[in-house]
Structure 1
């Protein structure tokens, strides 16, 4: 699987990153049913789908004229840590994760969602960036601030200081069907304002090791640099955001994926309102059913999401969900595959009560589950993780492992820094131990130290096992 982001060496590292899922997915292959007898009549479809008129072809010129002005290039500059090339997520969790940083430059795509400068792109495009620049279709460039990003859905929200900008019309994912024509606009290999087209190959496609939401699969040509760009329907409305491709060569091979726009907009709303996205947590490992498993559990045909494991102390365990249960409905809506269930969970809120229809012991049943909140690291407190937005810092408390490795009793970890902080010398992966000789025991200590906007700060940090002071001047 290859990220559809910029093609340079640093972005290749980002392309190779393993993605995390809140619950593990084991997706079984669907076995085909036996052929019907020669004279048997196939059952009528549940809903008659009218075919497109003969000779129907989307007006690609009109689509480009309407949507192109709202598609942007997203240019990123940052510093890559050598130890984070193979697994950046693990590198951020371990203490002293690098030896010698090196700069990188990359490019992805994005699209404008509000006239006052709100831009959407992929989280992995800006994940390691210290400076983000948005280039409009008229070639104007604006420095962008990252309002927030959500790695579980691969969505990031940017803000630029511009007004009266062209925007994309939002489409309806629930009306999208397999075989519908779609259009991709973006910057493949840095070639901005490029358009390509294809069809919807599948809906609700779950991808192990990628996002926690079901994706739209298409055969539209998507390449590195397309990430964050829009997937459009025939009316030039955005129905998804390009995220990744499956490829052996690293380039387009006919299988690309986009995050549905309803998921993207929900994440955007949460980030704009709260600075981050809160995800619901069920705590069950699920997999697809094949014909053999369905028969073993007494089903006439494979239908539902099979529970293969339940986490101890999870909401699923508290509700009585057990391995071997098959989830067949979510709040009354039928579940055919794991992707259907993930789609509903991706839009659910922590604390929400849901009804799960079950097939258990060869009979139907139902459970009510109160969903918890997903966290990326059990050692990390979501309540304490925060962004010191004025300084461009993303901070979190040190884990027990990091404190032990550093030989300290307290401190905070720098996950990300903006361009200003990077110029001052602070780097992602630094551990802040004190500010102006006052020990730092929590993120709140850092916020308190900068709240009064002192003219200067002296930060004692640990970098790769070396203690040093970093001076910083506040404007």
Structure 2
């Protein structure tokens, strides 16, 4: 009774205030509440957003003449059954696992980006090819020269001896909006000049192709043979290079990926001048900063690139970058994800001094390394007894790292524990620890025996995760394990 009486006393002024709020906010937000306030409805007095479809017919007429059919030939003795190139390469990363076969003939797509005969396509379309033939939309055929290739971004530049060709202008992929209409043009399954429509489903996709992943995702139908064809926006500009699909059936399921055209703008000039791409090198291995890792390192933000190891003698080592640092800005550009840092470093000219902002033990720090040149050796390294026993609480078995084992694993460590076994369903398994991993630190302290590991874990408060520095296949990563 007291609550009801109190409500009645305050009901008139509350109702008056509510009416004022509705009058003030309703027109601004354009929504009204449903009866019972269970859902929201648009205010019919206000205009609703409208969607205008592009004139696909005129758009296709403008860009389709610049799309080409690319046929490759690989000569030499074949010791395996033949298989179309588009199946072998196009589904290599995302399709069902299948036996590798070397084909003699492959097919893909490309588009003319310069009236003097420069053609953009995928690296995997022309990789290992002895001969590349290009067929234009008007039926003319040319033997193309492979000017340069960049496997790291799956981009290749071709050149044909022709002039006055139709072209597709390049757009700005950084301006793409999710939901924006796009078309894909190519030669899926050999069906030339096939056009499909869709939207930009997402941007900045990381799909496990490498450190420079930054794919545009689209639901425009992409199939084998579309590789190298353009993804075109409503202005008739190429904003992506169709490169891969996710499929479990061998065909399109509405999840396709295109290399953003701005990445091609970085790569193509170097391919034209040198046939290959030179990239900058900082000299760190990095990993994403998860919520558990952020908590362990005492930071509230989850963006940034966590440094798991630093290469001896590298630009990062020379200025004092350390394992456990969190890089949040590079040369004035914000670093939200690890791929941001990889791309920014790669695009930095060799010899340029840059400013990096990082967080170390919760405190900001500024360092100024000079970027070096990335080599294949450095990229490969970045990619990729009695004191032993089981630690039953964590569910793993370890043994001390010996000099012989360290050499076999390619590690320069003089301490650590080699993981021999991981129990299914254990905290170690849930954390992602695998047999063959080497644990060198626990909560930033070096470990040499299972007793070191046990003592370090027991020091942690109940339910608080333990931070491990783990070395795997030449790279180092931080993992958190809940004890």
**Within 1, Cα distance between the matches of 2:220 and 2:379?**
41
Aligned position for 1:113: 113
Give yes or no for the alignment of 1:294 onto 2:330. Answer: no
**Within 2, Cα distance between the matches of 1:345 and 1:182?**
30
Q: Give the structure with the higher percent helix.
A: 2
Aligned position for 2:349: 349
- The count of corresponding residues between Structure 1 and Structure 2 is 319
SS in 1 for 2:354: strand
RMSD of Structure 2 on Structure 1 (CA)? 3.0
SS in 1 for 2:198: strand
**Within 1, Cα distance between the matches of 2:290 and 2:118?**
44
Contact 2:211 2:342 in 1 (8 A): no
Q: Which moved more, 1:319-328 or 1:65-74?
A: 319-328
**Within 1, Cα distance between the matches of 2:141 and 2:366?**
54
1:379 deviation in Å? 12
**Within 2, Cα distance between the matches of 1:231 and 1:150?**
19
**Within 1, Cα distance between the matches of 2:201 and 2:338?**
18
Aligned position for 1:132: 132
**Within 2, Cα distance between the matches of 1:264 and 1:59?**
27
Contact 1:73 1:135 in 2 (8 A): yes
1:212 deviation in Å? 2.7
Contact 2:281 2:346 in 1 (8 A): no
Aligned position for 1:208: 208
Contact 2:174 2:262 in 1 (8 A): no
Contact 1:151 1:211 in 2 (8 A): no
Give yes or no for the alignment of 1:55 onto 2:44. Answer: no
Alignment partner for residue 68 of structure 1, among 64, 67, 81? 64
CA deviation vs aligned residue, 1:120-179 (integer Å, no higher than 9, x gap): 111111011111011111121111011111111111111101110011111112211222
Q: Which runs of 4+ in 1 moved over 3 A?
A: 79-83, 377-380
Contact 2:148 2:274 in 1 (8 A): no
Q: 1:63 to 1:347 in 2, by over 3 A?
A: farther
**Within 2, Cα distance between the matches of 1:72 and 1:282?**
39
Q: 1:342 to 1:233 in 2, by over 3 A?
A: farther
Which structure ranks higher in relative contact order (CA pairs < 8 Å, sequence separation ≥ 6)? Answer: 1
Q: Which moved more, 1:130-139 or 1:181-190?
A: 181-190
Q: 1:308 to 1:154 in 2, by over 3 A?
A: same
Contact 1:79 1:103 in 2 (8 A): no
Contact 2:359 2:365 in 1 (8 A): yes
1:309 deviation in Å? 2.2
Q: 1:200 to 1:340 in 2, by over 3 A?
A: farther
1:273 deviation in Å? 1.6
Q: 1:159 to 1:338 in 2, by over 3 A?
A: same
Q: 1:308 to 1:255 in 2, by over 3 A?
A: farther
Q: 1:209 to 1:238 in 2, by over 3 A?
A: closer
SS in 1 for 2:202: strand
- The unaligned stretches of length 5 or more in structure 1 are 1-38, 40-50, 89-100, 381-475
Q: Which moved more, 1:163-172 or 1:268-277?
A: 268-277
Give yes or no for the alignment of 1:262 onto 2:262. Answer: yes
**Within 2, Cα distance between the matches of 1:217 and 1:369?**
35
**Within 2, Cα distance between the matches of 1:185 and 1:103?**
24
**Within 2, Cα distance between the matches of 1:364 and 1:82?**
59
Contact 1:183 1:233 in 2 (8 A): yes
SS in 2 for 1:342: helix
1:254 deviation in Å? 2.6
Contact 1:79 1:128 in 2 (8 A): no
Contact 2:289 2:304 in 1 (8 A): yes
Aligned position for 2:160: 160
CA deviation vs aligned residue, 1:187-231 (integer Å, no higher than 9, x gap): 111212111122222222233244634222222221111111111
Contact 1:204 1:339 in 2 (8 A): no
**Within 2, Cα distance between the matches of 1:179 and 1:264?**
23
Q: 1:134 to 1:289 in 2, by over 3 A?
A: same
Per the normalisation by structure 1, the TM-score is: 0.62
Aligned position for 2:282: 282
Give yes or no for the alignment of 1:239 onto 2:239. Answer: yes
- The unaligned stretches of length 5 or more in structure 2 are 1-36, 38-46, 83-87, 89-100, 381-483
Aligned position for 1:320: 320
1:344 deviation in Å? 2.0
Aligned runs of 1:180-219 on 2, under 5 Å?
Answer: 180-210=180-210, 212-219=212-219
CA deviation vs aligned residue, 1:416-441 (integer Å, no higher than 9, x gap): xxxxxxxxxxxxxxxxxxxxxxxxxx
Aligned position for 1:141: 141
The structure that has the greater radius of gyration is 2
CA deviation vs aligned residue, 1:238-271 (integer Å, no higher than 9, x gap): 1111122222223222322221212212211112
Contact 1:169 1:237 in 2 (8 A): yes
SS in 2 for 1:344: helix
Q: 1:353 to 1:192 in 2, by over 3 A?
A: farther
